[in-house]
Amino acid sequence: MTNSLNDIRHTKSMIFIGSNAAEAHPVSMQHILHAKEVNNAPIIVVDPRFTKLAAKASEFVRIRPGSDCAFIMGLINEIIQKGWEDKEFIRTRVAGFAEMAEIATHYTPEEVENITGIPAAQTRKVAKILAMNRPTSLTWCMGGTQHHIGSSITRAFCILQLVLGNMGKSGGGTNIFRGHDNVQGATDMCVLSHTLPGYYGLSDGAWKHWCRVWDVDYEFIKGRFKEKKWMNAKGFTLARWYEGVLQEEKIEQYTPIKAMIQWGCGSNSNSQYDRVVKAYNKLDLFVIVDPFPTMAAATCTTDNVYLLPCSSQYETSGSVTSTSRQIQWRFKVVDPVGNCKDDYQIMAELVKRLGFADEFYKNIKETPEDITREINKGTLTIGYNGQTPERIKKHMENWHTFDIDTLQARGGPCDGDYYGMPWPCWTEEHPGTPILYDISKPVAEGGLPFRNRFGLEKTYDMSGRTENLLAADGVANPGSEVKGGYAEFKDVVPGTNWKTDLSQKTLQEAIRRGMAPFGNARARCVVWTFPDQVPVHREPLHSPRPDLIATYPTYEDQPNHFRVFTRFKSEQDPELAKKFPFVLTTGRMVEHMGGGAETRSNKYLAELQPDMYAEINPVTANNMGIREGDMIWIESPEGGKVRVKAFVTERVDGKTIFMPYHFGGMLKGKSLIGEYPAGHAPYVVGEPANVCTNYGYDIITQIQATKDGLCKVSRA
């Protein structure tokens, strides 16, 4: 999120697209409804389903799954055609606007209707609501990202906010509601196959930086790899690691994957789940570290699987980063129960036995505080520097002193700080940055311009135009020594830049001069390294509209996509919709979380929501002779099938089937309760929706496309 949940209280309108906050982030609703009631802010909900959030909407927009980019580009086009864009914001702080606007002209309200099913008049109406009620807070979740064009869809959201001038403003922003409790923190630490912590990437410079932070010789780390080239090569992802085991698609690695450690990661949230199960059973070694067995334990039946009982997060301590970028300390409530060990203990034991404990823990004596300090030392890119363990704990102890509307402490020991010191928090004196890219405040007081990351100027392929990428003259934070755009800081300490100067003198020098360490630049509408430089619609791989494939085809197949061959064009079969006539989409329910290993083992939650189901429209159900509560089969083009209860409801339209993805413990109609360790099967089992979610991955990130596949339905 660029802003915070509390900051939504200041918005004048809200648009949620692919987010069902009322179920997925219920406690955020108090801030959302505050804006609705007090500011009279309209709530626009764009979703294939009439969700519980849609029930609170002033405008519900039913969209065909996977067509979000077309709708947003349509809004952008309509706003520009009507002259409602924020011309001054664009002139001073945005790059590539003209090139983007040219492409947006394709998305007339009528063409948007053709692609998305949204009436042209409604696109016009929504554009007007946004233009007349600024600032708008824009929120998306996995409904926006889990598509083969997810990276284009999310960029379109950002561009819409740039065009409206809603970035860097209280009440505005791109406010992605993150899912799991610490998915922001874990993302920032980059438990990711394409980058080192702090989004440093995998370049030699990135490795050398982190080796300095770890206080180990770069040659030592290099020696740990098979060859140096593997240090710089993106690894397999969570979405497709199992292909490295199965090798049914060509892999680009010198060895198949033979061992897997799955640590705090429910297995049935993977699409193509029956293929995942196949891979589990082919591994030489499979280690599951979790407080509960997870469905992986029930589906892996070979003798090479181990279960290590780690404690829950209430039996250990450490920091967690909320969706608002706030860092909170999760104090330990009780010691690990039974014979459990906490995560740190298990890691320490493993590292010791593998023989690199001395190097790994060189500067880590006190756990977890010394780890926080190591993060403070090295994570300069996103400003995880000023949030020391002492300060985080002080915020927790004094959380009552923070103002609801501003999140700033009013008096007391944290006076002036923003709650949780949202990153970037450049120094131990810095209050945190409550709103990203806000140039109305000095940098030392939480202000920030756009980052200078992509050079000083660019000549666009599509227009031949050359543009200065720094912010325009006169646009900078109050107190900035340079009254306009400037480049990122380097050579304050010779041979280093703001990202690599471990003395952090560069950060302090920038702040002293009223400037941001990363420069003051423009936000881009054109990303010249992406296959689609400006976001455009492309039909889902498995499209219910074969007539649109010729105009909006997917990408070429990718031979080495995170080390595995990934099909795009060869997978887009126009005939598929004849046999699989319904669109399958998935989502959350309030009572469960993720793959549900925790919540289905929680006696209160298990009772509240004990049944897996599929939502089906009454007309569809009546035509097929399906009644509420009947068992039905949902089947995917890949042969995945689940047997679930029919929930007959107008939440979905006649072309769409919805399933929650939290269930597990059954496979293709069969209960696996007997395969769990005795006494440890969850209270509630059900078919995992992800057995049916289709093949398909984002072109940039390889996120799985679970929201716009196809399926067929039959009576069970």
Partner 1 sequence: MAGKKKISIRKGASFSSRITLNPKLARRSFLKLSAATAALTGVSMTGRMTGTARAAKVKDPGKAYPGSKTVKTICSYCAVGCGIKAEVQNGVWVRQEVAQDHPVSRGGHCCKGASAIDMVTSEKRLTSPMKRVNGKWTKIGWDQAMGEISAKLTSIRDTDGPDALHLNGSAKVSTEMAYLQRKFAAFWGSNNVDHQARI
The residue within the footprint of partner 1, chosen from 92, 116, 139, 322 (CB under 8 A), is: 322
Pick the stretch among 35-43, 117-125, 231-239, 578-586 that binds partner 1 (CB under 8 A): 231-239
The residue within the footprint of partner 1, chosen from 15, 54, 73, 265 (CB under 8 A), is: 265
Nearer to partner 1, 467 or 591 (CB): 591
Q: Give least dist CB 229 to partner 1, A.
A: 11
- Within residues 24-63, the interface with partner 1 by CB under 8 A covers 24-30, 52
User: How far apart, in whole angstroms, are the C-alpha atoms of residue 70 and residue 536?
Assistant: 7
Q: What letter would DSSP give residue 174? A: B
3-state secondary structure 57-116: CCEEEECCCCCHHHHHHHHHHHHHHCCCCCHHHHHHHEECHHHHHHHHCCCCHHHHHHHH
Within 10 angstroms of residue 254's Cβ, the number of other Cβ atoms is: 8
Nearer to partner 1, 130 or 414 (CB): 414
User: How far apart, in whole angstroms, are the C-alpha atoms of residue 318 and residue 428?
Assistant: 19
CA of 398: how far to CAs of 72, 127, 318, 320, 659, in Å? 42, 42, 17, 17, 42
Q: If binding is defined by CB under 8 A, does position 716 make contact with partner 1?
A: no
Q: If binding is defined by CB under 8 A, does position 339 make contact with partner 1?
A: yes
Cβ proximity of 419 and 402 under 8 Å: yes
DSSP-derived secondary structure for 579-631: H--EEEEEE--TT--TT-TTGGGSHHHHHHS---EEEE-HHHHHHHT--TT-E
Nearer to partner 1, 510 or 699 (CB): 699
Cis previous bond, 688, omega within 30: no
Residue 182-211 contact track with partner 1, rule CB under 8 A, x = bound: xxxxxxxxxxxxx-xx----x-------x-
Q: If binding is defined by CB under 8 A, does position 318 make contact with partner 1?
A: yes
Q: Residue 230's closest CA among 669, 662, 563?
A: 563
Nearer to partner 1, 28 or 656 (CB): 28
User: How far apart, in whole angstroms, are the C-alpha atoms of residue 439 and residue 12?
Assistant: 20
Q: If binding is defined by CB under 8 A, does position 259 make contact with partner 1?
A: yes
Q: If binding is defined by CB under 8 A, does position 2 make contact with partner 1?
A: no
Nearer to partner 1, 332 or 513 (CB): 332
Q: If binding is defined by CB under 8 A, does position 250 make contact with partner 1?
A: no
Cis previous bond, 65, omega within 30: no
Q: How many residues bind partner 1 (CB under 8 A)?
A: 180
Q: If binding is defined by CB under 8 A, does position 218 make contact with partner 1?
A: no
Nearer to partner 1, 400 or 578 (CB): 400
Residue 642-681 contact track with partner 1, rule CB under 8 A, x = bound: ---xxx----------------------------xxxxxx
Q: If binding is defined by CB under 8 A, does position 143 make contact with partner 1?
A: no
- At 345, phi and psi to the nearest 5? -65, -40
- Within residues 589-608, the interface with partner 1 by CB under 8 A covers 589-594, 598-599, 601-608
- Within residues 76-95, the interface with partner 1 by CB under 8 A covers none
Any residues with CB less than 8 A from the CB of 366 and at least 6 apart, and which? none
Nearer to partner 1, 230 or 623 (CB): 230
Q: If binding is defined by CB under 8 A, does position 338 make contact with partner 1?
A: yes
Q: Give least dist CB 60 to partner 1, A.
A: 17
- Within residues 446-505, the interface with partner 1 by CB under 8 A covers none
Q: If binding is defined by CB under 8 A, does position 350 make contact with partner 1?
A: yes
Q: If binding is defined by CB under 8 A, does position 217 make contact with partner 1?
A: no
The residue within the footprint of partner 1, chosen from 121, 132, 404, 456 (CB under 8 A), is: 404
The token pair that represents 670 in the structure block: 């069969």
Q: If binding is defined by CB under 8 A, does position 214 make contact with partner 1?
A: yes
CA of 23: how far to CAs of 53, 139, 607, in Å? 8, 14, 17
Within 10 angstroms of residue 456's Cβ, the number of other Cβ atoms is: 12
3-state secondary structure 549-578: CCCCCCCCCEEEECCEEECCHHHCCCCHHH
Cis previous bond, 422, omega within 30: no
Q: Give least dist CB 113 to partner 1, A.
A: 31
Nearer to partner 1, 309 or 535 (CB): 309
Any residues with CB less than 8 A from the CB of 716 and at least 6 apart, and which? 630, 631, 632, 633, 643, 669
Q: If binding is defined by CB under 8 A, does position 212 make contact with partner 1?
A: no
Q: Give least dist CB 322 to partner 1, A.
A: 3
Any residues with CB less than 8 A from the CB of 422 and at least 6 apart, and which? 4, 324, 325, 326, 327, 432, 433, 434
Nearer to partner 1, 29 or 164 (CB): 29
- Within residues 368-397, the interface with partner 1 by CB under 8 A covers 368, 371-372, 374-375, 396-397
Backbone dihedral region of 592: left (phi > 0), alpha (psi from -120 to 50 degrees) or beta? beta
Q: If binding is defined by CB under 8 A, does position 64 make contact with partner 1?
A: no
User: How far apart, in whole angstroms, are the C-alpha atoms of residue 690 and residue 584?
Assistant: 11
Nearer to partner 1, 24 or 63 (CB): 24
Q: If binding is defined by CB under 8 A, does position 239 make contact with partner 1?
A: yes
- Within residues 604-633, the interface with partner 1 by CB under 8 A covers 604-611, 613, 628-629
Q: Give least dist CB 29 to partner 1, A.
A: 6
Nearer to partner 1, 71 or 280 (CB): 280
**Tokens 């061992």 sit at which residue?**
259
